[in-house]
Amino acid sequence: QVEEQINQRKPDFDAYIDPQKKKADAIIEVLPTELEKDNKKQLKVNYVQVKGVENFEPSTLFDAGSDIEWIPNKEKLSFSKPGLKLFQKQTEWFGKPAQVIGMDGNFDKLAELVYVEKAFSETGSKFFGEVTQKMVEYDGQPGSSDGTGLFQTICSLKVREIYEKISKVKVPADEKVAA
């Protein structure tokens, strides 16, 4: 049923949405998992970030400019089969240099996400633990345990960061979680 609805909307997507991608400086791609063939429940999510954009520094996994694949320590981050992988790669996005950070799979306990948050930099967060705090606030919602929620959260914090730089207005952040 979902696939049928997607196929019905494909002509509009191809005509109006897809052409806009080349103008985007950041985009979240939602793809089928590569961890297990024919698994339709898990997702692979890419957060594509164009480099060299004014007032925007791409978010990074471990080391800017590196290509990395990381399977987190299962004793520090609970995840079920088929597994969980985070990654970063350098690429081009419609002819522009870009950095992709991504996640394939789901995590089981949102509070443990703080372990993964330590591996990221340039997230737009105002304090360590803010990404995890925002994710915990949406526990149980679609995407709250996979890369869609994680990268939407990071992207929203980056939008706040850009807004503050351009407007010179500070947006308060309420620290609730002791990380």
List, for residues 82-105, the tens digit of each pLDDT value. 889 999 999 999 999 999 999 999
Cis peptide before 58 (omega within 30 of 0): no
pLDDT at 2: 65
For 140-156, write each residue's pLDDT tens digit. 888 888 899 999 999 99
Rounded Cα distance, 103 and 139, in Å:
18
Measured from the Cβ of residue 115, the count of other Cβ atoms closer than 10 Å reads 16
Record the pTM: 0.88
Tell me which H or E stretch contains 166: helix 147-167
What is the pLDDT of the chain when averaged over all its residues? 90
With a cut of 60, say whether residue 179 has pLDDT above it.
no
Rounded Cα distance, 26 and 37, in Å:
28
Rounded Cα distance, 74 and 67, in Å:
22
User: Domains of the chain: which residue ranges?
Assistant: 2-167
Residue type, 165: K
